[in-house]
Amino acid sequence: MADPNEITARLRRMIENDFGDGDRLPSEVKLSEKMGVSRAKLRESFGVLWQAGLIEKKWGVGTIVRKPHDQPAVVVPLWEIRSAPTLIRESGQTASVTDLSIERNRADDTIADLLSIRCGSTYWLVDRVLCADDIPIQRTIDAVPTRIDGVEFDARGFDVNDNTLVAMYESQLQRRIMRSDGRLTVVPAPPDTAKHLRLRDEDPVLLVEYSTCLDRETPLSYSVTWYNTARVDVRFTAERPVRRSIQFSERKTNRVPLPAMLVSSHLSALGNINASNSR
């Protein structure tokens, strides 16, 4: 019986010597025949190499080789909320921002619904690109009311290193953010975002849409982020709960579902609003 570690080592050498970054590996059937191992053993080795970041599975494409870049990927953990500049610095790189735009606009029906404010109310639109060692890794657009829970909020002092939006929220509102709710989707990069991230039009990017709340009743912002998946490694960890009896409760929670995907395109378009329409 073949040693699993030996199979993994052979497969790793094959990938390193015979395939380049982005190449598609042969099918499991062909690889198992070529290596003289079972498909079950081959899948175990695939799992090890996937965890090491050397391969990835793409639906409808197959198994793709991912060679490490000279620049380390920025790891974004899903189990905790931390600022992008912090994550960039923890990867050993320098955080910077480009294409920063901070505008004050009036909410249309879509934005008003997202932020739970009246149509025509003013809000801040903060658009920027985060870079790691001068290489763009993400574009983020935030829509934030100018008045939050009775307190005026001013976004003009935003700074990627010393005065992030989260720091400004807590400083100006004297309250801590309670939670963020969102979803992740892989989409073709919109033309303007592709240009910001130095990608080709239609290159896949990871789109994260999320709402941030001060408490269960006070919306704070609505945000969209496009991640350059070649430079960002999004990870999660999960544990299965201890098996126990299930208890049903009649208590219901009021959760507002996220709007349709057109919202991200709408926010992106808002970044092009002429300053004459701002106030």
Instruction: Enumerate residues 6+ apart whose C-beta is below 8 A from 37.
Output: 2, 7
Q: Note if the pTM is more than 0.75.
A: no
158 Cβ neighbours under 8 A, 6+ residues apart:
100, 102, 126, 128, 164, 165, 168
Q: What is the full per-residue pLDDT of the chain (279 aa) written as tens digits?
A: 567 788 888 998 998 889 888 788 888 888 889 999 988 888 888 877 876 678 877 655 678 887 765 556 665 655 566 778 888 887 788 889 999 999 999 998 888 878 888 899 999 999 999 999 899 999 999 999 999 888 899 999 888 777 778 788 888 888 777 777 778 888 888 889 999 999 987 788 888 888 888 776 677 888 899 999 888 877 666 566 665 554 544 444 444 444 434 444 445 544 443 333 433
Q: Is residue 9 included in any domain, yes or no? A: yes
- Asked if residue 207 and residue 138 are part of one domain, the reply reads yes
Range of the domain at 216: 74-239+246-274
Within a domain: residue 279?
A: no
- From 212, 193, 205, select the one nearest 267 (Cα to Cα): 193
Residue 106 placed within a domain: yes
